[in-house]
Amino acid sequence: MEVFDLAESWSREHIAEIQTLRLKSTVEQTRKCAFYRQRLDAAGLGPGFVRSLDDLRRIPFTTKNDLRSQYPTGLLCVPQSEIVRMHCSSGTTGSPVAICHTQNDIHSWADLMARCMAMVGVRRDDVFQNMSGYGLFTGGLGIHFGAERLGCLTIPAGAGNSRRQIKLAKDFRTTVAHILPSYALILGEHLRSSGEDPRNLSLRIALVGAEPYTEEFRRRIEELFDMKAYNSYGLSEMNGPGVGFECLAQEGMHIWEDAFIPEIINPDTGEVVPDGEVGELVMTCLCREGMPILRYRTRDLTRFLPGDCPCGRKHRRIDRILGRSDDMFIIKGVNIYPMQVEQVLMAFPEVGQNYLIRLENEGLGDSMRVLVEVRDEYFVEDMRVLQNLQRTIAARLRDEILVTPKVELVESNSLPRAEGKAVRLQDMRNKN
Ligand code: ADP
Ligand code: ZN
């Protein structure tokens, strides 16, 4: 195994040893802020209580609301003069939280990110185009510093503006891109609709993440551009990107356990679930001094993958994120995640790059409508073919989610597009 950082090749025993040491020091670090000191004391956890990794489970969870209540600087564990940068979460699910970093924090984050990129074969002679929004969003600067750390020619293209993205990618022969999954398909279609083949770009690798997407969606991206797409997971509360990343095997994302401790819990009881079961990911950072966070409830649902990864790394892997617990909706008593719908839709070659699930309130009860963009080449077919497609999609969806939605086929590019992360669900119930 070729590694960028020796920590990648650590054994389970060594990982556990280092985690214990770092958990001890991180917990002591958090005691420097009043919020954590009071919280730990209230739980009867005085200075030096961490003796082994098992003591982690005694620490109370930190929630998004805790972070909101301490906005902007209530969780600092160093004097503010030590802070060199702050980021905010995108605010997808409510008011944002602020995360502050020291210079050391920024360095170790860049190292982690560079490690992820190197793992999938990115090298210093690659040209890296970051098509993610810059600014408060961590997908911009977070990945940028990793790419520079690796030594890539780094193009901070920012989000959107497909014409400019394509021009840059052609002029500089971009080989690696960081891109939102929803935008990757939009960019590819943009090229195709102007009569160009996306495969003619020099792209060979894409780092794809920041929002949920299915395996089917990934395969589409890979085929469209004839490149490899690797899943990248992160969240601002744990730095941002660089937390979990797929290796060349593309069989789940390694969580860097020298820098984080992942746990998966039952969201209702808070108990750790048996390995392999789906639950909420909880993360503790081990290498941060500015604003370390203990047992953060991410609200992201996934599971640990059993067994060893063919790549040889022993850092545990999580499965593709199923969605956030907040994304789940209930129709006719059935719990549904948008990704279950996506999985069905993306299996149809006629389906284009965008879809929207709309929940409505119609006299008798709630109903679900799925608006589906159809590729141009299929949209011109005669009515009967389209009606047939509509019925087949509805039937497949019913098989998957046990509810029959209304399926509405619409033209390519007719559904609204988000500036950043895609909005897959629109809940119009009780809005009138
Ligand atoms: P916000 O929570 O406001 O969107 P962030 O920008 O910090 O703020 O985004 C982190 C969240 O994005 C994660 O908690 C997760 O829900 C989602 N996310 C990030 N990467 C992935 C990925 N590869 N697959 C699915 N979801 C992801
Ligand atoms: Zn691996």
Span 296-327, pLDDT tens digits: 999 999 999 999 999 999 999 999 999 998 89
Question: 89: Cβ below 6 Å to ligand 1?
Answer: yes
Pocket test for ligand 1, best of 64, 92, 99, 120 (most atoms within 8 A of CB): 92
- Residue 387 has which token pair? 């009606």
Q: What is the pLDDT of residue 120?
A: 98
pLDDT for 170-205, tens place per residue? 999 999 999 999 999 999 989 998 999 999 999 999
CATH architecture of the domain 329-427 equals 2-Layer Sandwich (3.30)
d(CA 242, ligand 2 centre) in Å = 15
Ranges of the chain with pLDDT below 70: 93, 431-432
Q: Closest-lying ligand to the alpha carbon of 244? A: 1
Q: In sequence order, which ranges of 64-161 are alpha helices (DSSP H)? A: 64-69, 103-119, 138-150
Residues forming CATH 3.40.50.12780 domain(s) in the chain: 1-326
Q: Which residues contact 263 (CB under 8 A, 6 or more apart)?
A: 56, 272, 281, 282, 283, 284, 295
Q: What is the pLDDT, as a whole number, of residue 432? A: 53
The minimum-distance atom of ligand 1 relative to the CA of 212 is 25
Q: Which ligand is closest to the CA of 96, given by its number?
A: 1
Q: Where are the alpha helices (DSSP H) in 4-102?
A: 12-30, 34-42, 64-69
Mean pLDDT of the chain: 95
CA dist 409 and 172 (Å) reads: 38
> Which residue is closest in CA terms to ligand 1's atom 5?
89
CA 41 – CA 274 distance, rounded (Å): 29
For a substitution probing ligand 1, which of 207, 215, 233 has the most ligand atoms within 8 Å of its CB?
A: 233
Q: Which of 158, 217, 216 is CA-nearest to residue 182?
A: 217
* Distance of alpha carbon 419 from alpha carbon 180, whole angstroms: 11
Six-digit token string for 133: 């929004």
Start and end residues for every CATH 3.30.300.30 domain found in the chain? 329-427
Residue to probe by mutation, ligand 1, list 87, 138, 211, most atoms within 8 Å of CB: 211
- Ligand 1 binding pocket includes 298 (Cβ within 6 Å): yes
Is the C-beta atom of 352 inside 6 A of ligand 1?
no
CA of 233 to the centre of ligand 1 (A): 7
Ligand 1 pocket test target in 86, 217, 235 with most atoms within 8 Å of CB: 235
C-beta atoms surrounding 168 within 10 Å:
16
Structural class in CATH, domain 1-326: alpha beta
Single pTM value for the model: 0.95
Nearest atom in ligand 1 to 244's CA: 23
Q: Is 394 exposed, middle or buried (0-12, 13-18, 19+ CB in 10 A)?
A: middle
Distance 323 CA to ligand 1 centre (A): 9
309 close to 254: Cβ distance less than 8 angstroms: yes
Q: How far apart are CA 395 and CA 265, in angstroms?
A: 34
Residue type, 199: R
| Ligand 2 centre distance from Cα of residue 318 (Å) | 11
The two structure tokens encoding residue 310: 């063919």
